[in-house]
Structure 1
Amino acid sequence: MGISETAVRRRVGKALRANADTVADRWVELQLAQDELRAGIGERELREEADALVTALVAGLDTALPVAQVVNAHEELRRSVIDLSLRRARGGATPTATSLAVLALKEAVLESVQGASDDAAELFAAVLLVNRLLDAAGALSFDTYVEGREEIIRRQSRQLLELSTPVVRLWRHVLAVPLIGTLDTARTQVVMENLLQAIQEHEAQVAIIDITGVPTVDTAVAQHLMQTVNAVRLMGADCVISGIRPPIAQTIAQLGIDLSKILTRASLADALSEAIKLTSDPVRQAVVRR
């Protein structure tokens, strides 16, 4: 007669509960022995992770959840694995190393289970249960790591975009955005958001978009510029595009792009001069005050 899963879970849980400190210590020892598994995490933090995960394993085994669902459905256990994975993702560990670190817990758990029973059939059933449980934890840690790294990359990309599109206050009521590099949809959105926010904060009347550092202007780039100009106008400010060099002017003309409704100047200095005139215009000042 086979051993029931409930009985095996009870025995494994009992062994873990009785040897929790030993299992945690052994897991920490296994990770410290392989630098790629610890990902630069200190021994104290490894021990905190181990205590949390072993405790969560015991709690998960005490539920009525099927073994295949324990890791993903038991909130405490799931959170312990996710926290561990995200911490290692932030530390720069590889997803493989993160999964292997979780799977290293198998050895510590199996050593504890082996010492709690001499029955071969019972031991075999316990090994299968522990493998299923910790394989699921390893898979969750891998998925979490990948998702966490993607989020970190997206956040860093966003920060780089913001750093590459600074809004500079050149004069009273005059702002400028010096653009360098390619202007795509994502970057246009960041430029627009930062510029509109700055217009509101500084009560700007003129915004200069300098494209001296933009290597080429095609139809897509021109559309992005026009979207930004329209958004600036909706905020009640004028917009000047500067840095239109002869090759870019020629390209724009050849493409048939209509920038006639947009104020343009050859250099940032010319644009600033124009902006000062606009902010000094008494008629415009009267309109702004109204």
Structure 2
Amino acid sequence: MANVRAKQTRVLPGFGLSLGFTLLYLSLVVLVPLSAVFIRSMGIGWDGLIEILTSERILKALQLSFSTALIAALVNVVFGLLLAWALVRYSFPGKRIVDALVDLPFALPTAVAGIALTTLYSKNGWLGQYLEPLGLQIAYTSIGITLALTFIGLPFVVRTVQPVLADLETELEEAAAALGASRLQTITKVIFPILFPALLTGFALAFARGVGEYGSVIFIAGNQPYKTEIAPLLIISRLEEYDYAGATTIAVVMLVISFALLLLINFLQAWASRRTGRVAS
């Protein structure tokens, strides 16, 4: 009788075989390359690891990469939500064009994006020539790096939040208004809790993309050591010097920090999903 019940609980046929192929694919694509990175970084030894972790140049590059990616992701959360809201809730001329332009950073090569932004915001650029007299320098500063990461990360937030907004029933807002809730209360108590998990997902995707971004950043960053040099550029420089152990060690440090932050975001997302489920019920 117990065997019959066990067989009945297996809704998907061939689950064991599918799970085996999934784990094999995951191992070949993700686990094995990451393990190779960790193993290769161990070849540098503890002294080499401490030297890298205490190097001012590397610490500055890591700080710049993570801080600009974090700021860009936060900016994208705000403006990505506003853009998704406008695309879902309003009709206006050129709406389909705007909706298509959101995906432009996905299709545009990152190097082209970097060159275009540098052309716009450099000292002699189309916009930079007007900002320079005002004391605003965008290109070759951390502001330019943040701008580039904002450009390439915006679609992740918009495309994550947009389906949730489309499925959000307007009757919930009407019911809140009928019960006497103000517009601010409706947004904070009804709409935002439902959108929060999607916003966290979009933030995590934009942040992860920004941390490892290379092509669109190197042109507008200026790559000045201790100032505008990003961590991925240091990895490329070490590889060009055939210092594979040093390059993989920097990559491992970035990987560990990114994994810890993304794990925290996933915990927040799970908490928000459970909270939303209780509210919805």
TM-score for both structures, normalised by structure 1: 0.30
Higher helix share: 2
**Larger relative contact order (C-alpha < 8 A, sep ≥ 6)?**
2
Higher strand share: 1
